[in-house]
Structure 1
Amino acid sequence: MRQRFVAAAACAALALSVAAGCGRDSSGGNETAKAVGEGKASGEITVWAMGTEGEKLAAFAKAFSTENPDAKVTVTAVPWESAGQKLSAAIAAKQTPDVSMIGTTMEGGLAKTGALDPTPGDLFQKETFFPGAWDTTVVAGTSYGVPWYVETRGIYYRTDLAAKAGFPDGPKTWDDLTAMAKAMQAKAGAKWGFFIQPGKTGSWQSVLPFGWSNGADIAAGGKYTFDTPEMTEALRYYQSFFTGGLSPKDLPQGALEPAFVRGQIGAFMSGPWHVGILKDQGGKDFTVAPMPTGKSSTSFIGGSNLAVFKDAKNRDAAWKFIAWLSRPEVQVKWYQTVSDLPAVQSAWTDPALTGDKILQVFGEQLKSAKAPPAYPTWDQVAAVFDTEVEKVCVGGADPGAALKAVQQQADTIGTGV
């Protein structure tokens, strides 16, 4: 969780750099993607990667060099805390690596600088990837890069408490989720029926799935569209878990997992990384359900992309390296190395993933999961959204008024496209 919040901060830093100008124009957004030459890769390929990926990729990439003996992959591990600033400085100085890992919400800001190379259509087809993941690479109609790995959200719940509450198979609908949370308190002894974020940093990742599942769209016609009946109804439903005493308004950091393992929290919303965390803390009686259905069951899709810079010294080899990382069998091996979920849909047919029931829930959810628009200003607008959500969840503010405030500030900030 901390890594994702740090990544969000890096994206925000990048957005500020873009707003200030990085010494590049954005004319590259509409140019046709150039083909990549045939044959094996050669020469040095410089790569920047963050987090665990930055620590593990160099050793993993040795298999690429085995297939391409004349190519060498040099990986620089970049801390998420400084990623945005470091990328902006490299772009301004025209001293970029050939390839960089890019958080999905960073894509719009980087593309705005004109520094990214359009995705070569001869190597990549969008149908290969989960639709929501591919959409994160598209800015103003042009794809810049490809999805590397993905993650999404589901509903973790205690199977023993859910059975006592009368929901042995978990919640299927919004009404089910509310009823299960109430019954977990009344019948199963949980202190809190369902934990969701009360408007802290990154809470938009929890709120927007309810909006999307209710038919809301936060961007249309080249502008932000938060102030809609569908989004208002979704935020009011989200607020009901706090007004109804089903979710805590202030849970100390690090308290969620032990409270869930002890049965004090019956359910919570999170991503696949929580499976390992819960097991490490002794959690046994739990599983994951898809997002409950409103008009649909739609979750958030996140993860990271890989992109090549226009100033790359070894462009062709850089794209060939990304193409190698996008092979289904390589995606599976990468998952087995760092637990990153494959962005390539066909990789999910491998026994390494099909044998895990919880992973299969996330795999199904990924097929319809969505991401926020790849606008350069998204991180600024998301910060406004988080602030207003906290007023709704903690302070009891009216959801409609909160969304009007978000819309007003979003209109002022603009999309940046």
Structure 2
Amino acid sequence: MNRKTTAAAALMLALSLTSLAACGNNGNGSSNTNSGSAANENAAAPANTAAPTNDASAGGEASGMPEKPAELTIWPDDNAESVAAITAITDKYTEKTGIKVSVKPVKMNDQQQILSLDGPGGKGPDLFFQPGIGNLVLKGLVQPVKAEQPVLDAYTPESLTALSQDGQLYGLPFVTETYALFYNKKLVPTPPATVADLEKLAAEQTDAKKQKYGFLLEGLNFYYAWAFMGGNDGYIFKKTDTGYDTADIGLNKEGAVAGVKLIQSWFDKGYLPKGVNGDVVGGLFGAGQVGAVINGPWAITDYKKQLGDDLGVAPLPTLENGKHPTSFIGVKGWMLSKFSKSPEWASDLAAFITNEENALEYYEKTGQVPPVKGVLNNEKLTSDPLVAGFSEQVQYGQPFPTVPELDYVWDPMANALKFASEGRDVQQSLDDAVKQVQDKMAMSGK
């Protein structure tokens, strides 16, 4: 078995053994992390929903389907490249069914709030694009998707579980992802294997006055920072045999503290600029000013345009303890709005967008990998060395905790990381963050 085949097999193995969760991006290298949760690692795939749908998402009318609506509305994330690819796919659906599809881009992080306000008045979408189930059910924003088993069989079971709650499936998966190390082969012929190698690269190539850096990551973003906290044996909520103990928060305990101290040291040494964000990371790397960056597969297309064959992808370098950073693993999918007046046809559209043919087309145009079995086995994917880099990293990733309380973590941790980057005591910053999480949970009745 050659290296590329091995990498593809690793990706399939990781997807089949790891319960996937969600976290996405806004197209410029920064991540949407306000919502989303993983599926329980021990949970089974959701049972078939009891409603008729079409024949394996062919876009054709099937028996038992209600009268066609004149139009369906979907909210993709507002990344221009992704929107163009999705629009091309929905145009094909219109050709097959005669149903107009209105594609209205809305930032992923804003969708829940806007839907809460507009949905009851009939102004919301039929489908919206979200990273995992999160607390969408709790907020009353979704309804079970209408899909028969032949449709569901196309996806990895874990990706379906990631969009399910209490055995009910609320959306169909479209993208699975984690983050890894992109590197510029002109500046970094061999990717750093350890954090010590990464720091050596930073020491040798960083010149902040010239805006040149050895490596960059969004150090203030908990989505990325978590990899170094979890890799040091940190945890968010304690994992138990039956789920998660949300009363046991590990964000201010030894492992998490060690991870944040490591990131703080990179700010202290000038390896990371103060206030670094996704625009800085993506812009400087694409301009050839940075040796390596940590980012997700959504960045592949832009980076390939900018760096061409000089672009490489590798797993995150190992930590001082010899362990791999535990990048988050996520699934983003098309969720069926509670307010859709045509749930059967909206489900049909979701199945069409995510079927093997269209999921492969989306991968070819955006570089984002779908959890569709036929696509994962496709030669175009298995022979892609950039995908191979992510397939190696996904083996070391972790799903999000499968609890709505995860939503209360993001803002307090963003504050804690900001304070740490400014030199504040890490333990105190994390203690404060945990107190904020506990207060949010208490206010919500959790």
| Category of TM-score, reference length = shorter chain | 0.7 to 0.9
Answer whether contact 1:126 1:134 (CA < 8 A) is retained: no
**Where does structure 1 differ by over 6 angstroms across 4 or more consecutive aligned residues?**
4-7
Alignment CA distance shift 1:125-1:406 (3 Å)? farther
- Which of 282, 292, 299 is equivalent to 1:274? 299
SS of equivalent to 1:342: coil
Residue identity matched to 1:400 = Q
Alignment CA distance shift 1:184-1:345 (3 Å)? farther
Answer whether contact 2:26 2:32 (CA < 8 A) is retained: no
- Which of 142, 147, 151 is equivalent to 1:116? 142
Superposition deviation, residue 410 in structure 1: 0.5
CA offsets 1:51-94 (integer angstroms, 9 cap, x no match): 24555534413434566x4x625224143286334311233336
Answer whether contact 2:49 2:168 (CA < 8 A) is retained: no
Number of matched residues?
A: 383
CA offsets 1:224-283 (integer angstroms, 9 cap, x no match): 431222211221222222223322224588554564466643222112233333344456
Answer whether contact 2:182 2:311 (CA < 8 A) is retained: yes
Question: What's 2:13 paired with?
Answer: none
SS of equivalent to 1:161: coil
Is residue 193 of structure 1 aligned with residue 222 of structure 2? no
- Identify unmatched segments of 5+ residues in structure 2: 1-24, 37-45, 55-60, 239-243
SS of equivalent to 2:216: coil
CA offsets 1:15-34 (integer angstroms, 9 cap, x no match): xxxxxxxxxxxxxxxx9873
TM-score after normalising by structure 1:
0.76
- Which of 178, 185, 188 is equivalent to 1:159? 185
> Separation in 1 of the partners of 2:287 and 2:113?
41
SS of equivalent to 2:215: coil
> Separation in 2 of the partners of 1:291 and 1:353?
21
> Separation in 2 of the partners of 1:83 and 1:274?
22
Is residue 397 of structure 1 aligned with residue 418 of structure 2? no
- Which of 287, 291, 309 is equivalent to 2:316? 291
Alignment CA distance shift 1:172-1:196 (3 Å)? same
SS of equivalent to 2:334: strand
Residue identity matched to 1:178 = E
> Separation in 2 of the partners of 1:148 and 1:48?
14
SS of equivalent to 1:414: helix
- Which of 111, 116, 123 is equivalent to 1:83? 111
Question: What's 1:22 paired with?
Answer: none
Superposition deviation, residue 95 in structure 1: 6.0
- Identify unmatched segments of 5+ residues in structure 1: 15-30
Superposition deviation, residue 126 in structure 1: 8.9
Matching of residues 370-389 of structure 1 within 5 Å: 370-373=398-401, 375-376=403-404, 378-389=406-417
Is residue 342 of structure 1 aligned with residue 354 of structure 2? no
Matching of residues 239-278 of structure 1 within 5 Å: 239-250=264-275, 254-257=279-282, 259-260=284-285, 264-278=289-303
Residue identity matched to 2:175 = Y
Is residue 210 of structure 1 aligned with residue 210 of structure 2? no
- Which of 24, 28, 51 is equivalent to 1:36? 51
> Separation in 2 of the partners of 1:5 and 1:61?
26
> Separation in 1 of the partners of 2:136 and 2:343?
17
Answer whether contact 2:176 2:330 (CA < 8 A) is retained: yes
CA offsets 1:125-154 (integer angstroms, 9 cap, x no match): 5993384x5564244675422322233311
Is residue 60 of structure 1 aligned with residue 81 of structure 2? no
> Separation in 1 of the partners of 2:167 and 2:235?
18
CA root-mean-square deviation: 3.8
- Which of 408, 413, 417 is equivalent to 2:440? 413
> Separation in 1 of the partners of 2:101 and 2:407?
30
> Separation in 2 of the partners of 1:134 and 1:398?
41
Superposition deviation, residue 209 in structure 1: 1.7
Answer whether contact 1:335 1:341 (CA < 8 A) is retained: yes
CA offsets 1:89-124 (integer angstroms, 9 cap, x no match): 2333366543x223216x424221223223568436
> Separation in 2 of the partners of 1:360 and 1:324?
27
Residue identity matched to 1:212 = G
SS of equivalent to 1:341: coil
Answer whether contact 2:213 2:291 (CA < 8 A) is retained: yes
Identical-pair percentage: 21
Question: What's 1:173 paired with?
Answer: 194
Superposition deviation, residue 405 in structure 1: 1.3
Question: What's 1:324 paired with?
Answer: 352
Residue identity matched to 2:441 = G
TM-score after normalising by structure 2:
0.72
Question: What's 1:128 paired with?
Answer: 155
